[in-house]
Chain A
Amino acid sequence: MKLVVDELSVRFGDTLAVDKVSFAVGETERLGIIGASGSGKSVTSLAIAGLLSETARVSGSIKFDGQELVGLRERDYRRLRGNRFSMIFQEPMTALDPTMRVGLQIAEAIALHDRRTGKRLTVEEELQRVGITDPGRVADSFPHQLSGGQRQRAMIAMAIVNKPDLVICDEPTTALDMVVQRNILHVLDDVLTDRAALFISHDLGVVREVCPRVIVMQEGHIVEEGPIDAVIAAPAHDYTARLVAAARGEL
């Protein structure tokens, strides 16, 4: 198992955001986490990435390749991030630095983990890999000069450039329109091959495209877990049934 989460709880002051959540992700498995806003799915992913604010109290265990992440020192975390696991964010406008050229931002991620020459070449190769046809121009652009789809592709390139074992995708297509969403899902499907991935979304249809297995979260608990087709065909929990019904129109 690549990632084993055991009885993870996250508390902000008096609010319990995540309550004893346990799941595991295999070496090349893709696991979908689905739930409404406030269900604790994003907090769970941030806890794994070690990006929770200082006010969060985390208990339980998160094991990545056997290494315990809860209580890990910032320095050791930094060594893991980017190199061993990375994250794709929802809104690529705010996930890219508006004052920095896209190519440089990707190069920054490479530079930290792999100090080899020909960085520029690598950046353009990576951009091509995520389906950008004019990588030279995109690398020289500032984020606001790109379309939403191009920005998200650049974000994906940044996340996979160091060939991480685990990629956490936090609502990677939510901010995009339907057509672009479909294209990005294809890119993700391609680049996530041979990697473990956590795919967080509120959209059952999107999760179904990329994940064979899904867990459903509500108010900090896992309420249902299983193969996505089985969950959609026969939802065991009320909440899942409502989600399926809501998504029915799009499926």
Chain B
Amino acid sequence: MKRSSLWAGAALVGFVVLVAIVGFFWTPFSPTSNGPTPLAAPGWPHLLGTDAFGTDVLSRLMAGAKVVLLVGVLSVLGAAVVGVPLGMAAAMLPRWAGEIPARLADILYGFPALLLAILFAAALGGSTWTAVMAIGIATVPAFVRVARAATLQVVSQPFVEAAELAGVSRFVIAGRHVWPNIAPLVWVQASVSFGIAILSEAGLSYLGLGSGPDAPTWGRMLREAQDHLFSTPILALWPGLAVAIATLGFNLLGDGLRDVLDPRLRERP
């Protein structure tokens, strides 16, 4: 019972990942080409119906899962790779030098991701990469903060002093002693950030700032469904549900990981 959110989150995330993997190799119909029966109700052969162009909704959802995971993985991974070392440096450098990345992260934190994406789209044109960059940059401060706070806690522990006393360099201490101790918190943050990234990706492609018109994304599906909201409201349900399931899944997974990986709970023999 204690780990129910972990298992529920893992199940939802696993489901989304499975759908994305299957969608990568196979979809029931083409997710991009138009079909002869527009706005068909759910049934056979179109299990979730078709959209205004006759494209199979299930196929589009499956292809969209791929895009959403790609954007999520790349932006969160990129943000972690940049943010975690910065946060660790902020905590381990002498005070004046450590303040620089910490305050930069604070400034970036106050800058809305959406605004960032609009700037990027204006400069580079809307694409999957624009979304990855905008979401990634907007996610960096979260990792800087988590890594800094966790590192501050770790370096105040005597074992870091013991390593220093043994003559271990700060660089090696960061890699060998600090990182393994803060990693669990970084994984939790990654999972939570992933949920936010999915939501942001949907938001960006809804606004047309994300992936191009040929790439089926959940956000684009929501936007197209808007035109038929009163005649065929079910068209908005599917992508909305997909975004909700994926976001919920990653948030539950993050919560569950937090409980399992909490070092205070883990230390008890």
Q: Counting CB contacts under 8 A, is B169 at the interface?
A: yes
- B221-234 near A? 1/0 per residue, CB < 8 Å: 00000000000000
Taking the closest CB of chain B, its distance from the CB of A69, in whole angstroms, is 13
Q: Is the CB of A51 within 8 A of B269?
A: no
Query: Are B180 and A108 neighbours in the complex by a CB distance under 8 Å?
Result: no
Tell me whether A86 is interfacial, beta carbon within 8 Å. yes
How many residue pairs link A and B with beta carbons under 8 A? The number is 76
> Which A residues lie within 8 Å of B181 (CB)?
97-99
The reply to whether B165 and A100 contact each other, CB–CB distance below 8 Å, is no
In the complex, which of the residues B157, B163, B269 contacts A144, with contact meaning CB atoms closer than 8 Å?
Answer: B269
A158 contacts which of B95, B157, B166 (Cβ < 8 Å)? B166
* A185 interfacial by beta-carbon distance below 8 Å: no
Q: Is the interface of B mostly helix, strand, loop or mixed?
A: helix
The residue in chain B whose Cβ has the minimal distance to the Cβ of A96 is B159
Cβ–Cβ < 8 Å partners of A155 in chain B: 162
Q: Taking A144-B269, A145-B269 as contacts, is the C-beta distance between A78 and B161 under 8 angstroms?
A: no
In residues 248-269 of chain B, which contact A (Cβ within 8 Å)?
263, 266-269
Residues from chain B with Cβ under 8 Å of A89 in the complex: 158, 161-162
Chain B residue contacts of A82, Cβ below 8 A: 165-167
Chain A residues numbered 73-95 whose CB sits less than 8 Å from any CB in chain B: 78-79, 81-83, 86-87, 89-91, 93-95
Residue of B nearest to A87 (CB): B165
The one of A51, A81, A91, A99 that contacts B166, using a Cβ cutoff of 8 Å: A81
Determine whether the beta carbon of A54 is less than 8 Å from that of B168.
no
Q: How far is the CB of A175 from chain B (nearest CB, A)?
A: 11
**A113 part of interface (Cβ distance < 8 Å):** yes
**CA gap between A98 and B180 in the complex, in Å:** 9
Instruction: Tell yes or no: B164 within 8 A of A by CB.
Output: yes
Do B166 and A97 touch across chains, with their CB atoms under 8 A apart?
A: no
Does B165 contact A49, Cβ atoms closer than 8 Å? Answer: yes
A121 at the binding interface (Cβ < 8 Å): no
- How many residues of chain A have a CB within 8 Å of chain B? 30
> Do B163 and A97 touch across chains, with their CB atoms under 8 A apart?
yes
A97-B159, A144-B267, A145-B269 are contacts. A81–B94 as well, Cβ < 8 Å?
no
**Separation of A164 and B264 alpha carbons in the complex (Å):** 34
For the complex, what is the distance from the CA of A112 to the CA of B164, rounded to whole Å? 11
Q: Which of A51, A78, A99 has the most chain B CB atoms closer than 10 A to its own CB?
A: A99
Task: Please tell me if the beta carbons of B168 and A108 are within 8 angstroms of each other in the complex.
Answer: yes
CA distance A78 to B163 in the complex (A): 10
Write out the residue numbers on chain A whose beta carbons fall within 8 Å of the beta carbon of B46: none
- Check B176 for interface membership: any CB of A closer than 8 A: yes
In the bound complex, residues from chain B placing their C-beta under 8 Å from that of A93 are: 267
Complex Cα spacing A91 to B157, Å: 10
- Residues of A with C-beta under 8 A to B164: 51, 78, 81
Determine if A99 and B158 form an interchain contact, defined as CB atoms under 8 angstroms apart.
Answer: no
CB distance from A95 to the nearest CB of B (A): 4
Cβ-defined contact, A87 with B162, below 8 A? yes
Partner of A94, one of B94, B157, B169: B157
A55–B94 alpha-carbon span in the complex (Å) = 10
Interface residues of B in 90-121 (CB under 8 A from A): 94-95
Contact A113–B167 (Cβ < 8 Å) = yes
B95 touches A108 (CB 8 A): no
Chain A residues close to B by CB (< 8 Å): 49, 51, 54, 78-79, 81-83, 86-87, 89-91, 93-100, 108-109, 112-113, 144-145, 155, 158, 162
